[in-house]
Amino acid sequence: MKLNFHIKPEIRILGVDDSALISDEIMIVGTVFRGGGWMDGVLRSEITRDGKDATEVICRMAKRSKHYGQLRVIMLDGVTYGGFNVVDISKLNKETGLPVIVVMRSYPDFEKIRGALGHFTDGEERLGVIEKAGRIEEVVTKKPENPIYIQKAGIGFDSAKKIVRLTATRSNIPEPLRVAHMIATGIVFGESRGKA
Amino acid sequence: MKLNFHIKPEIRILGVDDSALISDEIMIVGTVFRGGGWMDGVLRSEITRDGKDATEVICRMAKRSKHYGQLRVIMLDGVTYGGFNVVDISKLNKETGLPVIVVMRSYPDFEKIRGALGHFTDGEERLGVIEKAGRIEEVVTKKPENPIYIQKAGIGFDSAKKIVRLTATRSNIPEPLRVAHMIATGIVFGESRGKA
């Protein structure tokens, strides 16, 4: 596997975010971006709240898109979508053939996660998928006082860091994820909302 | 009324497009853009297919947004939304206090419009609102071979033309409308679609 590669300024990225937990079916939104510049496409799918279909749905979202042939990276906003529907990033990487970069606004609180997963009969299994996402590393993007944290699959840390920095053009969060979040919250609530 | 004004590169614009006619309630999507650059927010509302609420709903969408105080222009994709739900652009201009620019990909086919409106008992009235939108003028943006057509309310042609050219950074269509269209079709169909 090629873990380090040349990054074009207009590298095509699929960024995926979920919407609020307002029903058992949770909308997820994908944005197809050219680097940190502009948007080429919008995708939409549904996952089950606290279900186990997030990996498969995001995989299908990428592979069924007309942009699939151009995509070079998938970016996720954390590894849990629609509650505790955990994305297996190694599996997503293998099945799409695309590197996966997970972006987190803050270092995850594993004690809190373990507590919440205690309510699931298969909590240990879900925690295993979360832990399998690997080492969490800090990256400084636009705001030195506000670093973000990343995990990755199918890509080296240096390349992942370069892509995250290249695309965080408007805030400390890469554009594909910032915009996917705005669309998901805007469509569900009527007006987009910021993220804590 | 100030018809010509200084245009900042990051002028805040609300661009509104509708989604496909798949039910009696049609989703409309608003994007808040900084010039032709980047998106600051996403808005969503519903109008009635072939109804008469488009003017009021778009007016409310603009005025209820947290971005309202920063907005300087509203951009529309034609004057008919959700079938033949016609936007009265003078009224929208007066009630929001914001200039309105209507963008069309091609010169409207009035014969076809009149034919379709013949099926409405109040077709004459709707045609009146369409005609009230005023003179249709050509503007060349990114592609000289592919000019667009504009109408306006509360703004002079020169300023409207400048704003349209400033914001058509990625195609011949201003970014607020190009992106609103991608979001509306992406959310409704699962993947965004181009426009004929």
Share above pLDDT 90 across residues of chain B, in percent, rounded to a whole number? 91
- CA separation, residue B47 to residues A80, B28, B52, B196 (Å): 34, 7, 8, 23
Cα gap B124→B122, rounded to integer Å: 6
- CA separation, residue A192 to residues A2, A39, B69, B94 (Å): 37, 17, 16, 26
- pLDDT value of residue B5: 73
- pLDDT value of residue B20: 87
Q: How confident is the model at residue A196 (pLDDT cuts 50, 70, 90)?
A: very low
- pLDDT value of residue A20: 87
Cβ of A43 within 8 Å of Cβ of B190? The answer is: yes
Cβ of B179 within 8 Å of Cβ of A45? The answer is: no
Instruction: Give the DSSP per-residue string, B99-164.
Output: -EEEEESS---HHHHHHHHTTSTTHHHHHHHHHHT---EEE--S-TTS-EEEEEESS-HHHHHHHH
- pLDDT value of residue B66: 98
For B67, nearest residue in chain A (alpha carbons): A191
- pLDDT value of residue A21: 87
SS3 A146: coil
Cα of B65 to nearest chain A Cα, Å: 7
A170 contacts on B by Cβ (under 8 Å)? 38
Other C-beta atoms closer than 10 Å to the C-beta of B90 total: 15
**Which residues 28-67 of chain A have a CB within 8 Å of chain B?**
29, 38-39, 41-45, 64-66
Domains and their CATH numbers in chain B? 12-185 (3.30.2170.10)
- pLDDT value of residue B6: 82
Q: Which of B38, B187, B191 sits opposite A65 (nearest CB)?
A: B191
Q: Structure tokens of B68?
A: 């309202």
| Between residues A6 and B178, the one the model is more confident about | B178
Mean of pLDDT values over A15-34: 95
- pLDDT value of residue B196: 45
Q: Are B159 and B4 in contact (CB under 8 A)?
A: yes
* Residue pLDDT, tens place only, A75-116: 999 999 999 999 999 999 999 999 999 999 999 999 999 999
Cα of A84 to nearest chain B Cα, Å: 23
* pTM for the model: 0.95
In whole numbers, what is the pLDDT of chain B averaged over residues?
95
Whether the per-residue pLDDT at B2 is higher than 80: the answer is no
Cα of B174 to nearest chain A Cα, Å: 13
A185 contacts on B by Cβ (under 8 Å)? 42
- pLDDT value of residue A22: 86
A182 contacts on B by Cβ (under 8 Å)? 39, 41-42
Of the listed ranges A13-17, A143-147, A183-187, the least confidently predicted one is A143-147
| Cβ–Cβ contact A20 with B under 8 A | no
* Residue pLDDT, tens place only, B58-82: 999 999 999 999 999 999 999 999 9
- pLDDT value of residue A195: 67
Give the up-direction half-sphere exposure of residue B83: CA atoms within 13 A in the CB hemisphere: 20
| Cβ–Cβ contact A111 with B under 8 A | no
Mean of pLDDT values over B30-53: 97
Mean of pLDDT values over B130-146: 94
